């Protein structure tokens, strides 16, 4: 009897099935688009499009960039995490936040800042340097959290068995941080495969910039579609891998015993060098771009160019980011409720699928949405609706993780009590659960608004004609080499980004202290 | 003879708070010593100082006669060859049982035979390919011991190794661990707050209290002749009775009691420590009134009053749970301490 009722409880209701359609649809769109265009072109057409030196060149560039940036980011991220969490470095609380700050500078802003110093920073080598500097925090944050949460008993045991501190690090610490490192590295890789703005500004030819160029030339181009197919083939395994590893990221702790606090490893004579290295890393990744923005803003202020355009850009940003945040949060809430209230393989997949969609390149998502709108829903073309759909594809996971903590704080027990006191299911949800999760919803809305405000690729491709945002203004001006004109917009973007980065950093690093 | 480990006047403070205040402690080769004490008494700190994880502020520690800590020198843990079994085992989750046990062996020694031999000490040769999460709590602890014993250390330190296991498992595991240590011929220091565990496993029990060793002796001696009222409480149940001492005898509210020795403070008022099992029911004895009889399965727990005094006394389980008058007396020698002020 109790078993039967339990089974009935965990059977997903209809609303859940409907909610699950959203991520499935979002992931299906680009795949179906690519498949449709490929079948239209036919085998000979596909071969003619793909078997060209141009495709090979793009493939080599994309892979070289992705692999190099991932490897360098991983090394920088692990080193920074170790210094901040394990060594006796002075001013640790400052470094802990500072090492995540590069996330506040969108990659395309960092790229234009570096490119404005010297054209030498354009090209593949420059792109690898700049993108590594701006993406290592994606490795640093999870690895730092893993190092912090690790049970020091493992290291004690390793030392007592005769292994030196260095061999203990490679034998025990790193293997346990591996899921966190792997997830972070794959996230960097998916970002690299999807990156567009930075690469366009740095004049590096990869699939994303090529697809964008083909699209600008002719929006329904077979070349763009087939290049998208190759890019998806590169991206999907990385995104799936990240999703799988992310699930495995849990810090292993031995049992319930009291956890001993970590003892910092004395750097000794190496301390000044480590300190200098860390300072150089933060300076190159954050201070140089920020400094260049200030410099160009000062130059721009003396010529007063560009400033009148800032109000339409702010208005455009808000008109897209605010409704976008509401829509994405509303789509994410049922997914989170499903995963927590009705645990099972189906709801787990539905909960995790957006993380794969999130890894899809914005260019491809935008292209697919345009394709379907023109073919089947022409009224939607050139409206904000398409852009909101793209936002959902790209940002659902962010809203999900923002909502998850507060939904977990509103256990179904509360609703059951309300039901036992005579409230119907809907009323019970509205009167008990909703008030409990409202703070989380508010946090998600704020975070999403700020994140959407800095989105470039999908906005550039899908925003209704005449609507500009801070991000698109930065891009178009920087792309024309008008650095002084771009700087005020970029500075505003960076300032807006600081808050979500701070929240994200605190959440990542304190997660395991719960 | 050289001690397996010798701790001399060791002191250690954390953030100005003294945790070890002049500890003297030694273990003979091949013997198992238990460090028994309440939480916060410094026993784990002492263990970590012996293993080399923490530096000491004063005094010295010798392992096999060689100084490893003291006078500003500190041999790092990996050079001490002291096996370490932490709470809950802390098996490396990314390695199999064989990987864990082989971890401390040199590469060329890391053979199936060698690992199997270490696992045989704890009777788990069959589980080599398992991962830690596939083992029960007791198996994890035994593998942790095999891992510590594999490199052949002369000394093993165990930090509350049976914490978090259920009572039956604790008892059987305690016996197995003792046997494995003896088979390996290693000396051991075992930290515990459970007197039963200390008595069952150790050749020598050192009772720690507020950063000092209050008493170090054989288990029976510690239990029968505790050095202080505090040691008596740490090592088991203790009932203190107001008494008048004359020579090696005392007059208590429960009648006369023999003392193990005439107390150093001489005749007069004293506080006599009686172990619960020394209070025996039946005539001849002091009259007592049963106020409450609580059924505890294999025995009954009686709450009795003798004059003004209220006592809890174990009694054989009684089919009818009536309340009545009984007689009590003290059997066996007790220890007298100066009277409580």
Q: What is the pLDDT of residue B210?
A: 92
Residue A220 has pLDDT above 70, yes or no: no
Q: What is the pLDDT of residue A260?
A: 54
Q: At B216, which helix (H) or strand (E)?
A: strand B212-217
Tokens at B91, concatenated: 């098996």
Query: How confident is the model over A44-48, as a mean pLDDT?
Result: 81
The ipTM (two decimal places) reads 0.78
**Looking at the complex, does the CB of residue B320 fall below 8 Å from at least one CB of chain A?**
no
Residue A3 has pLDDT above 90, yes or no: no
Q: What is the pLDDT of residue A149?
A: 79
Write the DSSP string, A209-244: HHHHHHHHH-TT-HHHHHHHHHHHHHHHHHHHHHHH
**Looking at the complex, does the CB of residue B102 fall below 8 Å from at least one CB of chain A?**
no
* Partner-chain contact A159 B160, CB within 8 Å: no
Q: What is the pLDDT of residue B58?
A: 93
The Cα A138–Cα A76 span in angstroms is 10
Residue A306 has pLDDT above 60, yes or no: no
**Looking at the complex, does the CB of residue A154 fall below 8 Å from at least one CB of chain B?**
yes
Write the DSSP string, A100-125: TGGGGS-HHHHHHHHHHH-GGG-SHH
Q: In this complex, which of A176, A252, A256 lies closest to B164 when CB atoms are compared?
A: A256
Tokens at A21, concatenated: 């359609």
Q: What is the pLDDT of residue A11?
A: 56
Query: How confident is the model over B50-54, as a mean pLDDT?
Result: 91
Q: What is the pLDDT of residue A146?
A: 85
pLDDT category of residue A382 using cuts at 50, 70 and 90: confident
Write the DSSP string, B258-302: EBSS--TT-SEEEEEEE-GGGEEEEEEEEEEEEEEEEE-SSEEEE
Q: What is the pLDDT of residue B322?
A: 61
Residue A228 has pLDDT above 90, yes or no: no
Of residues A349 and B220, the one with the higher pLDDT is B220
Residues of B in contact with A159 (CB under 8 A): 52-53, 76-78
**Following CA atoms A376, A379, A380, A383 in sequence, which dihedral angle do they give, to the nearest 10 degrees?**
160
Q: What is the pLDDT of residue A307?
A: 64
Residue B84 distance to chain A (closest CA, Å): 6
For the whole model, what pTM was predicted?
Answer: 0.79
Task: Give the other-Cβ count within 10 Å of B307's Cβ.
Answer: 11
Tokens at A190, concatenated: 């998916």
Share of chain A above pLDDT 70, in %: 91
Q: What is the pLDDT of residue B220?
A: 94
Substitution target in A152, A155, A159, A160 with the highest count of B β-carbons within 10 Å is: A160
The Cα A291–Cα A286 span in angstroms is 8
Per the CB < 8 A criterion, the answer to whether A367 and A214 are in contact is no
Q: What is the pLDDT of residue B321?
A: 56
Q: What is the pLDDT of residue A363?
A: 86
Q: What is the pLDDT of residue A8?
A: 40
Residue A305 has pLDDT above 60, yes or no: no
**Looking at the complex, does the CB of residue A304 fall below 8 Å from at least one CB of chain B?**
no
Residue B217 has pLDDT above 70, yes or no: yes
Residues of B in contact with A248 (CB under 8 A): none
Q: In this complex, which of A156, A163, A252 lies closest to B53 when CB atoms are compared?
A: A156
* Partner-chain contact A252 B93, CB within 8 Å: yes
Closest residue in chain A to residue B149, using alpha carbons only: A161
**Looking at the complex, does the CB of residue A265 fall below 8 Å from at least one CB of chain B?**
no
Share of chain B above pLDDT 90, in %: 53
Query: How confident is the model over A365-390, as a mean pLDDT?
Result: 86
Report chain B's terminal Cα–Cα distance, integer Å.
44
3-class DSSP state for residue B95? coil
**Looking at the complex, does the CB of residue B234 fall below 8 Å from at least one CB of chain A?**
no
Residue B227 distance to chain A (closest CA, Å): 31
pLDDT category of residue B46 using cuts at 50, 70 and 90: very high
- Angle separating helix axes A222-248 and A174-194, nearest 10 degrees: 160
Q: What is the pLDDT of residue B225?
A: 94
**Looking at the complex, does the CB of residue A268 fall below 8 Å from at least one CB of chain B?**
no
Nearest to A489 by CA among A475, A499, A502: A475
- The residue count of chain B comes to 341
Query: How confident is the model over A504-511, as a mean pLDDT?
Result: 68
Q: What is the pLDDT of residue A303?
A: 65
Determine whether B140 is exposed, middle or buried from the number of CB atoms within 10 Å of its CB (0-12, 13-18, 19+). buried
* Partner-chain contact A162 B104, CB within 8 Å: yes
Share of chain B above pLDDT 70, in %: 98
Residues of B in contact with A161 (CB under 8 A): 78, 83-84, 103-104, 147-148, 151
Residue A354 has pLDDT above 50, yes or no: yes
Q: In this complex, which of A162, A172, A254 lies closest to B88 when CB atoms are compared?
A: A254
* Partner-chain contact A172 B76, CB within 8 Å: no
Residue B2 distance to chain A (closest CA, Å): 22
Residue B202 distance to chain A (closest CA, Å): 22
Residue B101 has pLDDT above 60, yes or no: yes
Residue B323 has pLDDT above 90, yes or no: no
The Cα A441–Cα A444 span in angstroms is 5
Per the CB < 8 A criterion, the answer to whether A401 and A444 are in contact is no
Q: At A386, which helix (H) or strand (E)?
A: helix A384-408
Q: In this complex, which of A160, A172, A257 lies closest to B77 when CB atoms are compared?
A: A160
**Looking at the complex, does the CB of residue A10 fall below 8 Å from at least one CB of chain B?**
no
Residue B111 has pLDDT above 70, yes or no: yes
**Looking at the complex, does the CB of residue A157 fall below 8 Å from at least one CB of chain B?**
yes
Alpha helical stretches, state H, B103-188: 112-121, 137-149, 167-184
Task: List beta partners, residue B281.
Answer: B328
Lowest-pLDDT range of A169-178, A221-230, A380-389, B75-84: A221-230
Task: Give the other-Cβ count within 10 Å of A513's Cβ.
Answer: 9
Q: What is the pLDDT of residue A70?
A: 95
* Partner-chain contact B88 A256, CB within 8 Å: yes
Question: Please, which residues 22-61 of chain B have a Cβ atom closer than 8 Å to chain A?
Answer: 48, 51-53
The Cα B60–Cα B220 span in angstroms is 29
Residue B189 distance to chain A (closest CA, Å): 14
Residues of B in contact with A250 (CB under 8 A): none
pLDDT category of residue A142 using cuts at 50, 70 and 90: confident
Residue A514 has pLDDT above 80, yes or no: no
Beta strand B204-209 with B32-36 is: parallel
Residues of A in contact with B90 (CB under 8 A): 151, 153-154, 156-157, 254
Residue A53 has pLDDT above 70, yes or no: yes
The pLDDT mean for chain A works out to 82
Residue A264 distance to chain B (closest CA, Å): 12
Nearest to A317 by CA among A459, A491, A105, A499: A459
* Partner-chain contact B78 A160, CB within 8 Å: yes
Q: What is the pLDDT of residue A219?
A: 63
Residues of A in contact with B144 (CB under 8 A): 157
**Looking at the complex, does the CB of residue A305 fall below 8 Å from at least one CB of chain B?**
no
Nearest to A498 by CA among A296, A293, A345: A293
Q: What is the pLDDT of residue A258?
A: 44
Query: How confident is the model over A456-464, as a mean pLDDT?
Result: 88
Closest residue in chain B to residue A253, using alpha carbons only: B90
pLDDT category of residue A261 using cuts at 50, 70 and 90: low
The Cα A360–Cα A337 span in angstroms is 24
Adjacency order of strands within the sheet including B239-246: B255-258, B249-252, B239-246, B268-274, B335-337
A186: number of CA atoms within 13 Å, CB side?
A: 23
**Looking at the complex, does the CB of residue B151 fall below 8 Å from at least one CB of chain A?**
yes
- Residue B7 — left, alpha, or beta (φ > 0 → left; ψ -120 to 50 → alpha)? beta
Task: List beta partners, residue B190.
Answer: B34, B158
Q: What is the pLDDT of residue A381?
A: 81
Residue A45 has pLDDT above 60, yes or no: yes
Residues of A in contact with B92 (CB under 8 A): 154, 157-158, 172, 175-176
Nearest to B273 by CA among B313, B310, B241: B241
Q: At A40, which helix (H) or strand (E)?
A: helix A14-50
Residue A251 distance to chain B (closest CA, Å): 10
* Partner-chain contact A159 B104, CB within 8 Å: no
Query: How confident is the model over A472-483, as a mean pLDDT?
Result: 86
Question: Please, which residues 263-292 of chain B have a Cβ atom closer than 8 Å to chain A?
Answer: none
Query: How confident is the model over B200-225, as a mean pLDDT?
Result: 94
pLDDT category of residue A5 using cuts at 50, 70 and 90: very low
The Cα B50–Cα B6 span in angstroms is 9
**Looking at the complex, does the CB of residue A248 fall below 8 Å from at least one CB of chain B?**
no
* Partner-chain contact B90 A153, CB within 8 Å: yes
Tokens at B39, concatenated: 């939480």
Residues of B in contact with A176 (CB under 8 A): 92-94
Place of tokens 């929006």: A219
DSSP state of B244: E
* Partner-chain contact B104 A163, CB within 8 Å: yes
Place of tokens 């978090």: B164
Q: How many helices (H) and strands (E) does chain A have?
A: 25, 0
B90: number of CA atoms within 13 Å, CB side?
A: 25
Residue A1 has pLDDT above 80, yes or no: no
Beta strand B73-74 with B66-70 is: antiparallel
- The residue count of chain A comes to 514
DSSP state of A87: B
Nearest to A242 by CA among A195, A184, A288: A184
Residue B95 distance to chain A (closest CA, Å): 9
B156 φ, ψ to 5°?
-125, 135
pLDDT category of residue B232 using cuts at 50, 70 and 90: very high
Of residues A401 and B296, the one with the higher pLDDT is B296
Q: In this complex, which of A151, A160, A257 lies closest to B51 when CB atoms are compared?
A: A160
3-class DSSP state for residue B174? helix
Tokens at B258, concatenated: 């023999």
Beta strand B155-159 with B335-337 is: unpaired
Per the CB < 8 A criterion, the answer to whether B260 and B232 are in contact is no
Q: In this complex, which of A162, A172, A256 lies closest to B92 when CB atoms are compared?
A: A172
Query: How confident is the model over B139-166, as a mean pLDDT?
Result: 90
**Looking at the complex, does the CB of residue A420 fall below 8 Å from at least one CB of chain B?**
no
Residue A70 distance to chain B (closest CA, Å): 24
Question: Please, which residues 166-185 of chain A have a Cβ atom closer than 8 Å to chain B?
Answer: 171-172, 175-176, 178
Per the CB < 8 A criterion, the answer to whether A122 and A509 are in contact is no
Residue B188 has pLDDT above 90, yes or no: yes
Q: What is the pLDDT of residue A16?
A: 67
pLDDT category of residue A86 using cuts at 50, 70 and 90: confident
Residue A377 has pLDDT above 90, yes or no: no
Q: Which contacts of A382-388 are long-range, i.e. CB under 8 A and separated by 24 or more positions?
A: A382/A464, A382/A465, A383/A464, A384/A319, A384/A320, A384/A323, A384/A463, A384/A464, A386/A462, A387/A320, A387/A324, A387/A458, A387/A459, A387/A462, A387/A463, A387/A464, A388/A323, A388/A324, A388/A327, A388/A328
3-class DSSP state for residue B8? strand
């Amino acid at each position: 009897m109790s078993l039967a009722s339990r089974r009935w409880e965990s059977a997903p209701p209809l609303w859940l099935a409907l909610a699950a359609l959203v991520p499935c649809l979002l992931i299906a769109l680009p795949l179906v688009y690519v498949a449709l265009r490929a079948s239209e072109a036919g085998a000979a057409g596909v071969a003619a499009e793909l078997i060209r030196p141009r495709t090979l060149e793009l493939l080599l560039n994309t892979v070289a960039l992705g692999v190099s940036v991932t490897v360098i980011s991983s090394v920088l991220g692990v080193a920074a995490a170790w210094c901040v969490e394990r060594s006796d470095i002075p001013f640790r609380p400052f470094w802990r936040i500072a090492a995540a700050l590069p996330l506040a500078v969108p990659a395309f802003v960092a790229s234009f800042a570096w490119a404005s110093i010297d054209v030498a920073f354009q090209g593949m080598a420059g792109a690898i340097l700049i993108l590594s500097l701006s993406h290592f925090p994606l490795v640093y944050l999870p690895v730092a959290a893993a190092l912090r949460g690790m049970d020091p008993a493992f290291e004690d045991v390793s030392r007592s068995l005769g292994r030196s501190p260095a061999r203990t690090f490679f034998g025990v610490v790193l293997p346990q941080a591996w899921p966190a490192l792997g997830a972070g590295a794959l996230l960097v890789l998916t970002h690299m495969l999807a990156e567009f703005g930075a690469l366009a500004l740095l004049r590096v030819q990869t699939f994303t910039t090529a697809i964008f160029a083909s699209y600008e030339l002719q929006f329904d181009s077979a070349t763009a579609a087939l290049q998208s197919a190759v890019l998806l083939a590169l991206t999907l395994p990385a995104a799936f891998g990240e999703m799988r590893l992310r699930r495995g990221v849990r810090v292993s702790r031995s049992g319930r015993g009291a956890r001993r606090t970590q003892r910092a490893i004395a750097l000794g004579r190496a301390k000044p060098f480590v300190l200098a290295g860390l300072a150089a890393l933060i300076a190159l990744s954050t201070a140089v771009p920020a400094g260049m923005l200030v410099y160009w803003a000062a130059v721009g202020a003396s010529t007063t160019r560009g400033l009148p355009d800032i109000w339409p850009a702010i208005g455009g940003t808000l008109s897209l980011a605010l409704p976008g945040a509401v829509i994405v949060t509303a789509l994410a809430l049922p997914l989170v409720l499903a995963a927590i209230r009705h645990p099972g393989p189906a709801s787990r997949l539905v909960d995790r699928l957006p993380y794969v969609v999130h890894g899809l390149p914005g260019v491809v998502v935008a292209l697919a949405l345009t394709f379907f709108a023109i073919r089947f829903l022409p009224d939607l073309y050139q409206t904000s609706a398409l852009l909101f759909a793209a936002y959902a594809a790209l940002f659902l996971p962010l809203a999900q993780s923002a909502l998850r903590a507060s939904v977990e704080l509103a256990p179904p027990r509360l609703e059951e009590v309300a039901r036992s006191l005579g409230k119907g299911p809907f009323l019970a949800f509205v009167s008990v659960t909703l008030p409990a999760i409202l703070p989380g919803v508010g946090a998600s809305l704020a975070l999403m608004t700020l994140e959407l405000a800095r989105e470039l690729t999908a906005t550039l491709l899908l925003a209704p004609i005449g609507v500009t945002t801070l991000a698109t203004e930065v891009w178009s001006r920087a792309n024309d080499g008008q650095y002084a004109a771009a700087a005020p917009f970029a500075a505003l973007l960076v300032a807006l980004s600081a808050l979500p980065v701070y929240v994200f950093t605190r959440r990542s690093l304190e997660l395991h202290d719960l | 003879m050289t001690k397996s480990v010798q701790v001399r006047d060791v002191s250690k403070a954390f953030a100005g708070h003294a945790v070890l205040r002049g500890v003297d402690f030694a273990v003979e080769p091949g013997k198992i010593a238990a460090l028994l004490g309440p939480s916060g008494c410094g026993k784990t700190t002492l263990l970590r100082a012996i293993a080399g994880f923490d530096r000491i502020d004063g005094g010295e520690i010798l392992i096999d006669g060689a100084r490893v800590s003291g006078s500003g020198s500190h041999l790092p843990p990996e050079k001490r060859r002291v096996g370490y079994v932490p709470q809950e085992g802390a098996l490396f989750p990314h390695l199999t049982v064989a990987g864990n046990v082989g971890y401390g062996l040199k590469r060329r020694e890391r053979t199936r035979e060698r690992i199997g031999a270490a696992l045989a000490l704890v009777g788990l040769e069959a589980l080599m390919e398992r991962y830690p999460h596939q083992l029960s709590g007791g198996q994890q602890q035994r593998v942790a011991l095999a891992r510590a014993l594999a490199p052949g250390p002369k000394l093993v330190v165990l930090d509350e190794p049976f914490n978090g296991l259920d009572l039956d498992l604790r008892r059987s595991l305690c016996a197995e661990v003792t046997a494995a240590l003896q088979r390996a011929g290693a000396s051991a220091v075992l930290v515990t707050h459970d007197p039963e565990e200390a008595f069952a496993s150790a050749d020598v029990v050192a009772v720690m209290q507020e950063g000092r060793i209050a008493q170090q002796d054989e288990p029976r001696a510690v239990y029968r002749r505790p050095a202080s009222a505090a040691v008596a409480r740490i090592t088991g149940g203790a009932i203190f009775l107001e008494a008048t001492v004359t020579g090696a005898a005392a007059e208590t509210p429960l009648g006369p009691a023999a003392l193990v020795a005439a107390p150093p403070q001489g005749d007069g008022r004293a506080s006599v420590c009686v172990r619960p099992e020394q209070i025996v029911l039946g005539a001849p004895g002091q009259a007592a009134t049963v106020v409450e009889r609580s059924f505890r399965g294999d025995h009954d727990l009686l709450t009795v009053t003798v004059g003004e005094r209220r006592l809890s006394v174990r009694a054989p389980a009684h089919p009818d749970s009536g309340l009545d008058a009984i007689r009590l007396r003290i059997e066996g020698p007790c220890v007298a301490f100066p009277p409580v002020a």
